[in-house]
Structure formats: C-alpha cells, structure tokens
Amino acid sequence: MLSTLARHRYRTPGDVAFSALVAITLALVVFVTLYPIYFVVIASMSSPQLVQSGAVWFLPQGISWFGYEQILSDQRIWTGYRNTLLYTVVGTAVNMLVTIPAAYALSRREFVARKPLMFFFAFTMFFNGGLIPTYLLYKEIGLLNNMWVFILPTALNVYNLIIARAFYENSIPEELHEAARLDGANDFQFFALVALPLSKAILSVIMLYYLVQHWNDFFTGLVFIRDYDKQPLQIVLRDILISNSAFAGGAGGAGGTGGGYGQQYADQIKYGVIVVSTLPVVILYPFLQKYFEKGVMIGSVKG
C-alpha cells in the first residue's frame, strides 16, 4: 500500500501529461459519441427555425412541443406501440425458452449429436432460401398477416446460441455437474437449479439482444403484414415520416401554404420520431448494463 501511495505522490511531469492526454482523449470520444443523440433530443423540442439556422447547439431554444403533439396525438402510434410491445415481449420469451436450453444441451460433451447439430445450425448463418421462397413458405403455413410471423421464424438466433453455448462450456465448472450427479440430480434438475442461477449475466445479454432485435424489426412488418392494425411501431413511424415529407413538399393546401407549414415543422417531427422510437430501449438498457460487459466477455477467453 505504501508503494502505491508513493507512486501517486511522486508522479513525474511525463506521467501527469500522459494522464491528462488520456483524459482529454476519452472526453472527446464520449462527446463525439453522445452529442448526436443529445442534439436529436434538444432539436426535437426546439423551434424549427432556430434549429435550421444553427442556433441550437447545447441547450434547447424556443421550446416547441408541436412535433411531439402531432406524433402522440396520432392513434397509429399507440396501435404500433401496443403491437411492438406484444411482439417484443412474446418473441423474447419464446427466444429465451428455445435458445438457452438448446445452448446448454449443445455444451454438454456427452451429448453425442452436438457436433452434427451445430453444423446444421451454423449452415443457416451462411445460406437461406431467399425472399420469394420464404414468402411462399409463410403463405403455405399461414404466417402471412399473422402476429406469429414476428416470433416463430426468429425463435432461434444462431449467433446468440453460440454465445450462450460458449458460456456454458467455459464458465460452468464440470465439478458442479459431477457433484450434482452424486447428489442424485439429473440433467434437467442441474440445468434448472444450478446452471440457470449462475447464468444471470449471459441471460441478460441474450435477452437484450433479442429485445432490441424485435423492437427494431422493420422488414417483417413491411413484407409480411397487410393489416394496419397489426403493423409494428417502426412501420407506423415510417408512414408518418413519409406523409410528413409529402406534406412538407407542398401537398398541404392551396398556394403552397400547407406545404410551407409542413416544411417548417418537418425536421422537428423527424427528430421526435427518433426519440419516440428509441426511448423504451434507452430506458431499459441501464438496468441491464451491469451484466452486459461481463456477459459479452464470458467465454471469449479460455484457460
């Protein structure tokens, strides 16, 4: 402890300069990373004229909630939120129920078929049938215009399966399994009572991956869903942006009056759409952040 205190007390000018340079560099990295997000937030609540003139930099200017009023007063937004929450919650639950037991089973060295099965799983990461065969398949099995098209085809993500399998292979000691066997536990009991409680980090990371995947799923709703009351939030926001752009281009009234009004608030509505679509994930992430780094690094280094 004394040596540590001595090192801190007798720092050379070079040490001080290096520490200052590191601190400045990290501050710049944080600023460059966070400022675009911060700007979107303050621009969404600032006067559009001041944003367009470049007067908005660090604080909102001429507070205006017009963009949020227009977005949140649109009933389609709430329908989209409801649908996306449903698809996200149910889809993530199905993903976890499929991925975690499969990863544990494939991590067991005594499971004879694990290598052939992993080959078939990995094969799907490089090859697929293409959009048209996929569309025809979904049509034949009744998934078109059905909420389950968001859930069943993506019930298992092979990348997440590999991460979870690596965790169970490298982070759950084999001695625990042997001790549980001596106590009379079978594989199901060991998985439920020992492996799962020790898997909080990787469970949180995999769940976050799946949650963000479902929340941002745009392509599925665009191609496979026709009823507007089943569309996810991302499609609703896209339609709002398209209609707002058309309105801003001069489609809003005689003599271009409506078009000018739309152009005035077009950017503010765009910024508000970004905030509305990302806010739930941004709120959720801090609660899972403490597990995130640990879960990502688990299984990356062996030995």
| Residue 110 predicted with pLDDT over 80 | yes
**Residue 161, Cα to own-chain centre: how many angstroms?**
17
Amino acid at residue number 180: A
* Contact call for residues 146 and 90 (beta carbons, < 8 A): no
Which residues have a Cβ under 8 Å from the Cβ of 105 and sit 6 or more positions away? 111, 114
Q: Two tokens at 125?
A: 């990461």
For residue 32, the number of C-alpha atoms closer than 13 Å in the C-beta half-sphere is 6
**In three state form, how does the secondary structure of 16-44 look?**
HHHHHHHHHHHHHHHHHHHHHHHHHHHHH
Give percent of the chain with pLDDT exceeding 70. Answer: 84
Residue predicted with more confidence, 80 or 270:
80
- Position 150 scores a pLDDT of 93
Amino acid at residue number 6: A
Q: Two tokens at 2?
A: 């004394």
Give residue for tokens 């799983």.
Answer: 121
- Position 303 scores a pLDDT of 43
Which candidate, 128, 133, 134, 103, places its Cα nearest to that of 118?
103
Spatial distance between the Cα atoms of 292 and 211, rounded to a whole number of angstroms: 14
| Residue 53 predicted with pLDDT over 90 | no
Which residues have a Cβ under 8 Å from the Cβ of 120 and sit 6 or more positions away? none
- Position 296 scores a pLDDT of 58
- Position 95 scores a pLDDT of 95
Q: Average of pLDDT values for 105-123?
A: 89
Q: Average of pLDDT values for 59-79?
A: 82
Spatial distance between the Cα atoms of 179 and 265, rounded to a whole number of angstroms: 66
- Position 298 scores a pLDDT of 58
- Position 257 scores a pLDDT of 39
| Residue 247 predicted with pLDDT over 70 | no
- Position 149 scores a pLDDT of 93
pLDDT 10s digits, 163-178: 899 888 888 888 888 8
At residue 12 the predicted structure's pLDDT band, cuts being 50, 70 and 90, is confident
At residue 184 the predicted structure's pLDDT band, cuts being 50, 70 and 90, is confident
